[in-house]
Structure 1
Amino acid sequence: MTAPLILPFGGKTPRIHDSAFVAPGCVIIGDVEIGPQASIWYNCILRADINHIRVGARSNIQDGSVIHVETDYGDGGHPAIIGDDVLIGHMALVHGCTLQDRAFVGMGAIVMDGCVIEGDAMLAAGAMLTPGKRMPSGQLWSGRPAKYMRDLSEADILGMQRGVNGYVHEAGLHAAALKAVAERP
């Protein structure tokens, strides 16, 4: 098993809360902060070499996803800000944008520089949110480029919260399994 690579860069060292789960194979570089009970799944990359990344409490970044930032060309650039209780699906690309508390990014989706996905909004699997777009709370957007599809139902929003809770639970199980393997003679 390959332990996560936690790499200081540019005088900044990643800060990972003790209760967060970071799976083997992950690479976390530079000015990254990961909050309590967050989970960073197998083979994710969080590269904060030219701006910063923040991952809030209980948020999960699923297998193979890439989180990066936009450089500061004198305008501050765009960090990657991921709020609390955010779901990011497998193989997503999140670049220099803001995902507010309870936002959802589907599997294989792309969120580009300067975008904002408000809380309780969902970007569908495979969608591409082009630079500077803002998705209002309670909406589902889909397509390449992504466009408004419909309002989310209460059941959709509750399903996202169940997903957050499920990933917090699952991260605990994976952490225990990895610990058991490491303790074998």
Structure 2
Amino acid sequence: MAQLIRFGGHAPRVEPSAFVAPGARLIGDVEIGPEASIWYNCVLRGDVNRIRIGARTNIQDGSVIHVDSPKPGAAAGHPTIIGADVLIGHMAMVHGCILHDRAFVGLGAIVMDGCEIESGAMLAAGAMLTPGKVIPSGQLWAGRPAKYVRDLSGAELDGQAQGIAHYVALARAHAEAISGR
């Protein structure tokens, strides 16, 4: 089973229609929206700030989502706010940032403190978005450090929408398999 761990007076909150896979760990101030999916062996650690995951967002196997502590010069620190319909690939590291609705983070990518990925923007597999960078809507960034590569096509954006629907259905199938239905 997934582990939901109370920390610092906060317990993770998961909408009943969301899927949290066995082996996932949600710690502290973490909120998971409807039909979102948190896959096997993910860690979402909201111990020193908050994590919010929007509806239908999926965080794929082995990903780590964390936050940045409040500190002098950054009184609020950096929570991690992930909007609706976001795709986050396997083994991604997402830390103290904002991913707007319909953002995409590729396999093994890293998103660091203070970054934003706007709606319909994509960070390529293996890329590293360094602190404070913003990927504008409709752009693909790649590399270490990540830089602008090109604008995304309509077909690529449509593919993201299909990926969201696929993961909602796949999460339901996994939940049924686990429950033995």
Q: TM-score, normalised by structure 2?
A: 0.98
Q: Which residue of 1 aligns with 2:171?
A: 171
Between the aligned partners of 2:62 and 2:136, the Cα distance in structure 1 is 27
| Structure 1 residue 20 corresponds to structure 2 residue 18 | yes
The 3-state SS of whatever aligns with 1:47 is strand
Q: What is the CA–CA distance in structure 1 between the aligned matches of 2:153 and 2:87, rounded to whole Å?
A: 17
Structure 1: which 5+ residue stretches go unaligned?
Answer: none
Structure 2 match to 1:37: 35
Question: Which secondary structure state, in structure 2, belongs to the residue aligned with residue 161 of structure 1?
Answer: helix
**Partner deviation per Cα, 1:127-147 (whole Å, 9 max, x = no partner):** 000000000000000000000
1:121 corresponding residue in structure 2: 121
Structure 2 Cα separation of the partners of residues 23 and 140 of structure 1: 30
Instruction: Identify unmatched segments of 5+ residues in structure 2.
Output: none
SS of the equivalent of 1:84 reads: coil
- Please tell me the residue identity of whatever aligns with 2:47: D
The answer to whether structure 1 residue 161 and structure 2 residue 168 are counterparts is: no
4+ residue stretches of structure 1 with deviation over 3 A? Answer: none
Q: How many Å separate the matches in 1 of 2:161 and 2:121?
A: 12
CA distance in 2, matches of 1:161, 1:91: 21
Q: What is the percentage of aligned positions where both structures have the same residue? A: 66
Distance of 1:28 and 1:76 partners within structure 2:
21
Alignment map for 1:21-170 (pairs within 5 Å): 21-74=19-72, 75-170=75-170
1:25 partner amino acid: G
Count of residue pairs the alignment pairs up:
179
Letter in 2 for 1:136: P
